[in-house]
Amino acid sequence: MLDDFFFRAILAGLGVALVAGPLGSFVVWRRMAYFGDSTAHAAILGVAMALAFDISIYAGTLAVATAMAVLVSALVSRGQAMDTMLGVLSHSALAVGLVAISFVPSARSDLTSYLFGDILAVGRSDLVLIWTGAAVVLAMLILRWQRLVTSSLNEELAMAAGIDPRLERLALSLALAITVALAIRVVGSLLISALLIVPAAAARGWARTPERMAAAATLIAGLSVVSGLWASLRLDTPAGPSIVTAAAIFFVLSQGLRRA
C-alpha cells in the first residue's frame, strides 16, 4: 500500500499540472520559453531571501518571480530585443540567485531540492497553497481566455478589437510568476519551464483549437506527473527530473504518432 507522502506528491503535481497545461500553451504560442526561464531562475534568489529573512519560501519566490516577470514585460513592451534580453536576464538571475544562496548556510545542504524540486516532501499546508494558487491562476485564465488568445495570435487584431496586448502580457507574466512559486517544490527552478513547455509542445500537433490544445497539454502534464512519480518510486530516481523525463517521452511519442 502506498504511503501518504506519495499521494500528497501526486496531488501537488496535479495541482501544478492543472495550470501548467493552459499557461504553457500561451508560452508556446507567444514563444516565451526564455521568459519562463528568466522568471523561474529568479526564484532561486527568492529562496535565498526567504531563508535569510525567515519568511515563507512561497512568499519569497513569488515576490522575486513577480518582480522579474514585471521587469521583463516592461522591457519587451519598450521594444528591447526579446531573445537577447531574456537570455541575459535568465542566466544572470540564476547566477545571482546561486551566489546569494551561498551566503545562507541553512540552504547550502538543500540546494538540490530548490533546483530540481522535492515533491516527496510536500506537506498538507503545501497542498493548500498549491491548489489555492492554481485555482487563482486558472480562474484568471478562464476569465481572460478570449482576450489572451486574441492578443497571443495577433496583436494588431487585438488592438482593433479594443484589447490592450500589454495588459494581457502583464496578466500572463503574473500568472507565470504565481505558477513558478507553486512549482518550485514540485520540479525546482531549473525544470519549471520544461513542465510548462514540453506538454504544450506535445499537444500542439494534435489540437485544432486553442481550447483543445490547453486541455490536451493539461492531460499530458497530469500523466507526466503520475508516471514520473511512479517511475521515481520504482527506480529510485529524483522525482522532479523523472516527471520532466516522462513529459519528454510523451513529446517524442506524440511526434512519432503524428508522422505514422
pLDDT higher than threshold 80 for residue 75: no
Q: Would you place residue 77 in the very low, low, confident or very high pLDDT band (cuts 50, 70, 90)?
A: low
pLDDT at residue 202, as a whole number: 92
Cα radius of gyration rounded to whole Å, the chain:
18
Determine the residue type at 34: Y
Counts for the chain of helices (H) and strands (E), in that order:
13, 0
Q: Where are the domains of the chain?
A: 4-259
What are the backbone angles phi and psi of residue 243, rounded to the nearest 5°?
Answer: -65, -45
Q: Which CATH superfamily is domain 4-259 in?
A: ABC transporter involved in vitamin B12 uptake, BtuC (1.10.3470.10)
pLDDT higher than threshold 80 for residue 164: yes
Give the cell for residue 97.
540567485
pLDDT at residue 66, as a whole number: 86
Q: Would you place residue 61 in the very low, low, confident or very high pLDDT band (cuts 50, 70, 90)?
A: confident
pLDDT higher than threshold 70 for residue 5: yes
d(CA 200, CA 22): 8
198-211 pLDDT per residue, tens: 999 999 878 888 89
Mean of all residue pLDDT scores within the chain: 84
Kindly report the length of the chain. Answer: 260
Buried b (16+ CB within 10 A) or exposed e, 14-37: bbbbbbbbbbbbbbbbbebbbbbb
Give the cell for residue 72.
521583463
3-state SS class at 56: coil
Give the rounded percent of residues in the chain with a pLDDT score beyond 70: 92
| Rama region for 237: left / alpha / beta (φ>0; ψ in -120 to 50; rest) | beta
Q: In the predicted model, what is the mean pLDDT of residues 149-166?
A: 84
d(CA 17, CA 198): 12
Q: Taking a C-beta distance cutoff of 8 angstroms, is the pair 8, 122 a contact?
A: yes
The C-alpha angle with vertex 224 and arms to 222 and 229, in degrees rounded to 5, equals: 105
Which among 226, 234, 225 has a CA at the least distance from the CA of 191? 225
CA distances from 90 to 39, 42, 86 (A): 7, 7, 6
Q: In the predicted model, what is the mean pLDDT of residues 96-117?
A: 75
Q: Would you place residue 107 in the very low, low, confident or very high pLDDT band (cuts 50, 70, 90)?
A: low
pLDDT at residue 1, as a whole number: 42
Q: Taking a C-beta distance cutoff of 8 angstroms, is the pair 158, 172 a contact?
A: no
d(CA 152, CA 168): 9
Q: Taking a C-beta distance cutoff of 8 angstroms, is the pair 25, 143 a contact?
A: no
Give the cell for residue 244.
520532466
Window from 107-111, 204-208, 225-229, 251-255 with minimum mean pLDDT = 107-111
Answer positive or negative: Cα dihedral of 30, 34, 40, 42.
negative
Q: Would you place residue 82 in the very low, low, confident or very high pLDDT band (cuts 50, 70, 90)?
A: low
Q: In the predicted model, what is the mean pLDDT of residues 24-43?
A: 81
Determine the residue type at 167: L
pLDDT higher than threshold 50 for residue 115: yes
pLDDT higher than threshold 60 for residue 80: no
